[in-house]
Amino acid sequence: MQRRKFRLLTMLFAAMLLITIIAGQSHSLKAASPLGKDTLTMVTSPDYPPYEFYDTQGGERQIVGFDVDIAKNLAQKLGFKLKIMESDFNGLIPALQANRADFVMAGMTPTPERKKNVDFSLIYYEAKDTIVAPKNSNLKQPPDLAGKKVGVQLGTIQEQNAKKIAEKVTGIQLKQLNKVPEIIQEIKSGRIDAAIIEDTVARGFAQANPELEFNVISSEEASGSAIAFPKGSALVKPFNQGLQQMKDNGELEKLVTKWFTQSTSAPTLSSPAKTGLNLDFTRILPEIPFILKGIPLTLLFTLFSVFLGLIWGTVLSLCKITGIKPLTWLANAYTSVFRGTPLLLQLALVYYATPQLTGYDISALQAGVLTFTLNSGAYMSETIRGGIQAVDKGQAEAAMSMGVPYRLMMWDIILPQALKNILPALVNETIGLLKDSALVSTIGVVEILRSAQIVGANKYIYFEPLLFAGLIYYVLVMGLTWSASVLERRLRQSE
């Protein structure tokens, strides 16, 4: 009877194994498509309407736009699931090189310099460069820019074209900025005289800012947008076939009409308030829920960074005072490196280099927490070391005379007193981390500042969302300061 049960179980197991093998083979046959995988990751810079931007209605975070619709159409045609990630424009090609994404769509032009690092599809939309300037400034063509300050977006084809213009027209001073809204604000502030921006984007900003105008630059060279891939990618051919099919059947033209007509690309304007800065906060009222959604992520990021940074800083401080020279040297060298290099540089290295060095696709939030932990640990180690050395030596001598082990002495006697002494410094470090958390917006984390920038890009405005974000940071910092004061008073009462 038992043998029969054993045989039955064996046959059942064999059948299940056979089914698994067959299913695996069918799955591998399915995956052995020209794409090679079921899900493809697209990275973009969603601050460039109408190509790609955030739809913030109802507080949601959905990236939409011309490029996104094309990508979704290609996903349907080629049979893959689409995953969208975001980054600043100048981080798009590094994302491909770090294998963080399968392709880039961001209104990117296939220049010879870019072709050295990535492959491109065929051009799916041709655009023109324009000069955006104050009305009646008579800055309409490149010769008019002689002796002027001109703004361009860092890493774009417009930057490269502006450099070519500067070689022919004397006296042009170029100013590179990360985002188009920043460029527009520089024009309005009078810091630059004009900017070179793509026509579809310039149209929206000119409609939102009546004091500005744009004029198309006459050029015989046609430029356009294409999809970027890692070098040697097998996706180029099937994507080209999909794009060509969209061109032939008119689907691409329908998307051009949808996103580049004035009725859809122009922002809705309201009567501005009569203030010196021409502020109108009513325009961001519908977007406030979207900005507020950045608060939990900012707080989560700060708390994780402070907690892990405190632990790491304590370890480093103990290494510095342990008396073991190799540990002391390593801890001091570590502190010197992380205190002597910019935090933004450390963040970029951790985010982009980790996948290439380890093969682990670290997320933007993980990269931010890791970087801030390593950085804040270096600063906290000095603070904690000072707090430990400030504790009366008699405490340690008394514990040692009573036979208390070193580990227990540090954990139960010295560290609690040291932390109580350095509490104000730790609060300052926490406040610094809370404000510095805005840096993670550069690698695509949608926290408070990034949310405000997204709203500004969508509404073609600048000051209102940033001022509101500043208010949020101020409230959070004041709340943290008050909580620390309450904790400090209670600790003093418990003495």
> For 453-470, how does the pLDDT look when each residue is reduced to its tens digit (9 = 90+)?
888 877 777 788 889 999
Tell me what pLDDT residue 252 has.
Answer: 92
- ∠ CA 467-284-59, nearest 5°, is 110
Sole residue written with tokens 């009078």: 190
Q: What share of the chain is helix, strand, coil (3-state, %, to 5)?
A: 65, 10, 25
Per the document, the length of the chain is: 495
Report which DSSP code applies to 413.
I
Q: Are 353 and 371 in contact (CB under 8 A)?
A: no
Distance CA 114, CA 93 (A): 8
User: Could you tell me which of 97, 91, 39 has the C-alpha nearest to residue 231?
Assistant: 97
Binned at pLDDT 50, 70 and 90, residue 21 comes out as very low
Query: Own/partner pairs for 327-331, CB < 8 Å, 24+ apart?
Result: 331/381
C-alpha distances out from residue 423 to 199, 483, 486, 489, 493, Å: 54, 12, 12, 11, 15
Residue 102: its H or E element: none
Q: Decide if pLDDT at 359 tops 90.
A: no
Torsion of CA 320, 322, 323, 329, to 10 degrees: -30
Q: Which one is predicted more confidently, 48 or 393?
A: 48
Tell me what pLDDT residue 396 has.
Answer: 66
Assigned token pair, 340:
């002597």
130 DSSP β-pair partners? 197, 216
Binned at pLDDT 50, 70 and 90, residue 200 comes out as confident
Binned at pLDDT 50, 70 and 90, residue 29 comes out as very low
Confidence (pTM): 0.63
Binned at pLDDT 50, 70 and 90, residue 386 comes out as confident
CB atoms under 10 Å from CB of 493, counted, come to 7
Q: Decide if pLDDT at 375 tops 60.
A: yes
Distance CA 373, CA 343 (A): 11
Q: Decide if pLDDT at 27 tops 70.
A: no
Assigned token pair, 249:
């059947």
Q: Decide if pLDDT at 211 tops 70.
A: yes
Distance CA 44, CA 444 (A): 10
Q: Decide if pLDDT at 47 tops 60.
A: yes
Q: Decide if pLDDT at 438 tops 80.
A: yes
Mean pLDDT score, 195-214: 87
User: 3-state DSSP call for residue 445?
Assistant: coil
Binned at pLDDT 50, 70 and 90, residue 273 comes out as very low
User: Would strands 194-198 and 52-55 be described as parallel, antiparallel, or unpaired?
Assistant: unpaired
Q: Which one is predicted more confidently, 274 or 51?
A: 51
Q: Are 95 and 83 in contact (CB under 8 A)?
A: no
Q: Decide if pLDDT at 22 tops 50.
A: no
Q: Which domains does the chain have, with CATH numbers?
A: 39-125+226-263 (3.40.190.10), 129-218 (3.40.190.10), 290-493 (1.10.3720.10)
pLDDT digits (tens, 9 = 90+) for 393-432: 766 667 667 767 766 777 667 777 777 777 778 888 888 8
pLDDT digits (tens, 9 = 90+) for 75-91: 999 999 999 988 888 88
Q: Decide if pLDDT at 222 tops 70.
A: no
Nearby residues of 347 by Cβ (< 8 Å), 6 or more positions away: 367, 368, 371, 439, 440, 442, 443
> Maximum Cα–Cα distance for the chain, whole Å?
99
Burial class of 76 by CB neighbour count within 10 A (0 to 12, 13 to 18, 19+): exposed
Distance CA 144, CA 425 (A): 55
Mean pLDDT score, 230-254: 93
**Rounded to a whole number, what is the distance in angstroms from the first to the last CA of the chain?**
75
Q: Are 439 and 346 in contact (CB under 8 A)?
A: no
Report helix angle 251-260 to 236-248, nearest 10.
80
pLDDT digits (tens, 9 = 90+) for 291-334: 898 899 899 888 999 899 989 988 898 888 887 888 999 999 99
